């Protein structure tokens, strides 16, 4: 494993960013070049939580070595280590970061909506936009209601950017960046993506690829 890069962070943090003990080591995010770790990294940057990015050399199989398998026995990135907690699956990491550090205190119903959109992004939207054999069938069906949602509000859950925007916005952005998806029939999504691309935290992570 390459030694962790310590990234720069913005100084302003809400009280929710305070970690339980100042003695805890910094949260570590494990990823590879051009991996889904960028999604979690985008959110870490959005919430200005200090972290170390551990870049695994996946071409050399570092993600299948015992050191990393002790963190994620499935041998896939992203994964995080935060104190005693080892956590993997990009969506589970987003939800943990949201609840622990990123979002204001929220009701069960609101947290359930975060989970709904995060699971939708990873289990339905991602495959629908990236699996060639189903894309033609799924594209209109998925993008029409998403466009409608964004006609009614600036962001997915209202007028404030949040974890759901990272979860869903990353797949919409990846679709444009990686498979040149054309959103001209979906003007609210196109407007939303323009906004996403202008965010410094996005530019530093997914937008830097």
Q: By beta-carbon distance, which residue lies closest to ligand GSH?
A: 76
Site string for ligand GSH, 22-51 (x = CB under 6 A): -------------xx---------------
201/196 Cα distance (integer angstroms): 9
CA contacts within 13 A on the Cβ side of 139: 15
Q: Would you count residue 205 as binding ligand GSH (CB under 6 A)? A: no
Q: Is 10 helix (H, G, I), strand (E, B) or coil?
A: coil
122: contact with ligand GSH by CB under 6 A: yes
* φ, ψ at 31 (rounded to 5°): -155, 180
Tokens 């070595």 belong to 65
CB of 35 to ligand GSH, least distance (A): 4
DSSP-H helix ranges across 23-159: 37-46, 66-69, 90-97, 108-120, 126-130, 132-152
139 to 198, contacts with ligand GSH by CB under 6 A? Answer: none
Q: Which is nearer to ligand GSH, 45 or 150 (CB)?
A: 45
Least distance (Å) between residue 56 CB and ligand GSH: 9
Our finding on whether 76 is near ligand GSH (CB under 6 A) is yes
Q: Which is nearer to ligand GSH, 36 or 199 (CB)?
A: 36
DSSP strands (E only) in the chain? 5-6, 27-31, 51-55, 79-82, 85-88
Q: Which is nearer to ligand GSH, 35 or 205 (CB)?
A: 35
* Chain residues in the site for ligand GSH (CB under 6 A): 35-36, 63, 75-78, 89-91, 122
């Amino acid at each position: 494993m390459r030694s962790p890069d310590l990234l720069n962070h913005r100084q302003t943090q809400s009280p929710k960013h305070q970690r339980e003990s100042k003695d805890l080591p910094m949260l570590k995010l494990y990823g590879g070049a051009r991996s889904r770790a960028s999604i979690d990294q985008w959110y870490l940057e959005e919430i200005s939580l200090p972290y170390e990015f551990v870049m695994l050399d996946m071409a050399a199989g570092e993600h299948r070595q015992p050191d990393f398998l002790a963190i994620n026995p499935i041998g896939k990135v992203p994964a995080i280590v935060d104190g005693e907690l080892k956590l993997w699956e990009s969506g589970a990491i987003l939800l943990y970061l949201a609840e622990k550090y990123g979002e204001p205190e929220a009701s069960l119903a609101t947290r359930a909506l975060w989970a709904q959109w995060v699971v939708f992004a990873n289990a339905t939207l991602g495959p629908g936009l990236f699996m060639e054999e189903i894309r033609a069938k799924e594209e209109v069906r998925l993008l029409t209601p998403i466009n409608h949602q964004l006609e009614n509000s600036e962001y997915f859950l209202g007028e404030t950017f949040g974890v759901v925007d990272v979860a869903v916005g990353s797949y919409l952005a990846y679709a444009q960046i990686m498979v040149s998806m054309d959103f001209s029939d979906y003007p609210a999504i196109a407007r939303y993506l323009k906004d996403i691309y202008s965010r410094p935290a996005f530019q530093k992570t997914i937008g830097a690829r």
